[in-house]
Amino acid sequence: MWERLQRHNHKSVSSKSLELNHRPSSQIVLLGGLVVIVCVVVAAAHWPALSARAVSIDDPQYLHENHLVQNPSWASVRRFLTEVLEPSTVEGYYQPLTMISLMLDCAMGGGPDNLMPFHITSLCLHVINTALVVILLFVLFGKVWPAAMIGLLFGVHPLTVESIPWIAERKTLLASFFALWCMIIYVRYARKSNWKFYVGCVVMYVLALMAKPTTTPLPVLLLLLDFWPLQRPVKRALMEKVPFFIIAFTFAIITVISQGHTAEVGMPGEHSPMRIPLILCHNIIFYLHKIVWPANLSSHYLFPEPLSLSNSSVLAGVIGTCILIPLLLLSLRWTRALLTGWLFFFVAILPTMGIIGFTYVTVSGKYVYLPAVGLLMILAGLLGWLWGRVSASLVSQIIIVFIILILTVSESVATRRYLVHWQDTEEHIQYMLTLAPDSVELHNFAGCVLARQGRNKEATVHFLKALRLRPDYHRVHQNLGIALAQQGNLDGAIKHFTRAVELKPQKSNAHHNLGQALSSKGDIPGAIKHYRESLHLKPDSPESLNGLGWILATSKEREFRDGAEAVRLAKRACELTNYRNPETLNTLAAAYAEVGRFTEAVKVAQKAIDLYLSSGNEKRAKYITSLQRLYEAGQPYRVKR
């Protein structure tokens, strides 16, 4: 019955599409009005996100420690676009549009101390994405009210919360924006066979991949739309996807290479054969449970340990999956909707399922954002069928609207409750630790947050807790070393930095940190060795360029001084930071003084002083001023032992 109705919908939508090319219809006017109402409600539900001050796990590298994002320029844009196989400012895959988007927010006044511009952009993107979901469901099924009601449930759902106050998740919103446009344009192409629509689909797909490569499966999702509800010929649909699959393969290679160069990639063969099916079963049921009952949501969930049937959550996932799949296959006797919608969800979320490991996160609410469209299609098809059956009864329609409103209010309340935990970083971390007290990543993150606030003793407690849980975690050794160094415990810092280098000798920042600690300790040969190794692994590391340049320009021992190389290194560090980092400018000034270019040294030092004064760091500005006086007197700077 449902399938017969869908065939009727397919014909009616086709006729409506032809009609829209000639004149506006009452349906389009109604759709526009409902979209506005939906957008207002969604914005109201998520409004507290604008005042959120919480910094989440990946935010520091996307904003707080990212000099390209914080210093908007065409040079930054060029680097984001051209650093394809080895992004220099973020550990992970190629995502230039996301980084440019965050940079533009900085250009509009955003920064580590003012997160509102980022949240405004993210909320606007989410509201627009909700509108696009409504439009997509309408062009697929031709029912205005069902499309608006299902889109509303998507927009206010608590699982969409994370992508707004979480700075790093701009990539999810931006990629979904382009992916939704791709699907909408594709439906128009499928109905009109106009090559301009086809080109538009390809362009939107590429843009989605440049925001976040987890949209790679989009060609398969378009094929699923061809199967249901578009019901297009299989052979033609496959042939049309060849360019899409070529693009998908290209970006998949880029993603694996760039992730491998900057972070880590876990391949399927590295684990037991049962790992993947157990994770898939666990995650499928986990996500369905959170969608239906979105309680105790978090940005971070513990990995299901042990990953075996002795774990009740894994066992529940296996049993649930074994029940779900036969039911979906059986549903094909009546409709393609259930299986196709679920396959859409599964295929879309598959890149985040851990088959190829790009992150330590096994499940996360943000991963559901775009894949949820598959489940929304099922609901829209069902609601459209019900709406058609009760179209003659105004009372029945009112009952349906009333039920949707109850669900909307319930979801909105849950969304507001979850947003409370995003108003402050420490409260946000404590909330997540309450749900996952033995999370190594959360203790490490908590330590990093406290260390940035100068609370190094408290940070050390979290780092030590993380090491008790995982003794050989290189990131924690590095962070603990930094905290100990800031407390003046150089010996302890060097011990943990050395251990980090032993665990991950291919990590540039591990060598940098050890080089910095050795330099402070007075071990200049050791410091130079590790700075050079850091630059060998990452030639464009501003921190290592600056550290080595400072030693070569200011070392008390003549044998280690090399003014010409110091100038070259410091210049490159300044270029990479767009001449906006006072520390790299200070090093360049010292290098100029070492080679006798004192006039230039004075000018560069003055720029460093101005930058420190503009940021309120008068103490550091005063120190650079004292160095500037040396250069004015024609004297290079020498580090005192």
331-383, pLDDT tens digit by residue? Answer: 999 999 999 999 999 999 999 987 776 677 788 899 999 999 999 999 999 99
Residue pair 191/14 in contact (Cβ under 8 Å)? The answer is yes
Residue 263 contacts by C-beta under 8 Å, 6 or more apart in sequence?
91, 92, 358
Tokens for 47? 């409004």
Whether the CA torsion 64, 65, 70, 72 is positive or negative: it is negative
pLDDT score at 269? 62
Rounded Cα distance between 103 and 634, Å, is: 40
Rounded Cα distance between 278 and 287, Å, is: 14
Q: What pTM was computed for the model?
A: 0.90
Rounded Cα distance between 159 and 373, Å, is: 13
Rounded Cα distance between 214 and 374, Å, is: 16
Residue with tokens 């900057």: 262
Residue pair 416/48 in contact (Cβ under 8 Å)? The answer is yes
> Which residue, among 357, 363, 317, has the nearest Cα to 162 in the 3D structure?
363
Which tens digit of pLDDT belongs to each residue from 219-271? 999 999 999 999 999 999 999 999 999 999 999 999 999 988 877 777 666 67
3-state secondary structure 39-83: HHHHHHHHHHHHHCCCCCCCHHHHHHCCHHHHCCCHHHHHHHHHC
Tell me how many helices (H) and strands (E) the chain has. 30, 0
pLDDT along the chain (641 residues), means of 10: 48 42 71 97 98 93 91 92 90 94 96 96 98 97 95 98 96 98 97 93 98 97 96 93 97 91 72 88 95 93 90 95 96 95 97 78 90 97 84 79 96 97 94 94 94 93 96 95 94 96 92 95 95 92 94 90 95 90 94 95 95 90 92 85 43
Residue pair 466/473 in contact (Cβ under 8 Å)? The answer is yes
Rounded Cα distance between 613 and 262, Å, is: 34
Tokens for 1? 């019955």
**Amino acid (1-letter code) at residue 456:** N
**Alpha helices (H) along 390-523:** 394-420, 425-435, 440-452, 456-469, 474-486, 490-503, 508-521
pLDDT score at 15? 44
Residue pair 247/216 in contact (Cβ under 8 Å)? The answer is no
Residue pair 108/35 in contact (Cβ under 8 Å)? The answer is no
Rounded Cα distance between 514 and 543, Å, is: 12
Rounded Cα distance between 44 and 208, Å, is: 27
Residue pair 93/264 in contact (Cβ under 8 Å)? The answer is no
Please state the separation of Cα 14 from the chain's center in Å.
37
- Tell me which DSSP letter residue 558 carries: G
pLDDT score at 573? 94
Residue pair 369/388 in contact (Cβ under 8 Å)? The answer is no
Residue pair 484/493 in contact (Cβ under 8 Å)? The answer is yes
Tokens for 157? 């759902």
- Please measure the distance between the N-terminal and C-terminal CA atoms of the chain and give it in whole angstroms: 86
Residue pair 353/280 in contact (Cβ under 8 Å)? The answer is yes
Rounded Cα distance between 481 and 71, Å, is: 29
3-state secondary structure 222-257: HHHHHHCCCCCCHHHHHHHCHHHHHHHHHHHHHHHH
Please state the separation of Cα 101 from the chain's center in Å.
12
Length of the chain equals 641
Vertex 356: Cα angle to 350 and 357 (nearest 5): 105
Rounded Cα distance between 367 and 300, Å, is: 12
Rg, the chain, Cα only: 28
Which tens digit of pLDDT belongs to each residue from 384-423? 988 877 665 778 888 899 999 999 999 999 999 999 999 9
Rounded Cα distance between 481 and 495, Å, is: 8
Please state the separation of Cα 155 from the chain's center in Å.
19
Tokens for 260? 């491998």
Rounded Cα distance between 582 and 528, Å, is: 22
Rounded Cα distance between 370 and 176, Å, is: 6
Q: How far, in Å, are 166, 198, 274 from residue 201 at the CA level? A: 28, 5, 38
Residue with tokens 């270019």: 597
Rounded Cα distance between 641 and 625, Å, is: 21
Rounded Cα distance between 300 and 317, Å, is: 19
Tokens for 603? 């000018």
Rounded Cα distance between 154 and 126, Å, is: 10
Task: Classify the phi-psi angles of 507: left when phi > 0, otherwise alpha if psi is within -120 to 50, otherwise beta.
Answer: beta
Within 10 Å of residue 141's Cβ, how many Cβ atoms? 25
pLDDT score at 19? 39
SS3 608: helix
> Which residue, among 72, 103, 67, 93, has the nearest Cα to 546 in the 3D structure?
67
Q: Is 36 exposed, middle or buried (0-12, 13-18, 19+ CB in 10 A)?
A: exposed
Rounded Cα distance between 370 and 81, Å, is: 24
Rounded Cα distance between 383 and 6, Å, is: 12
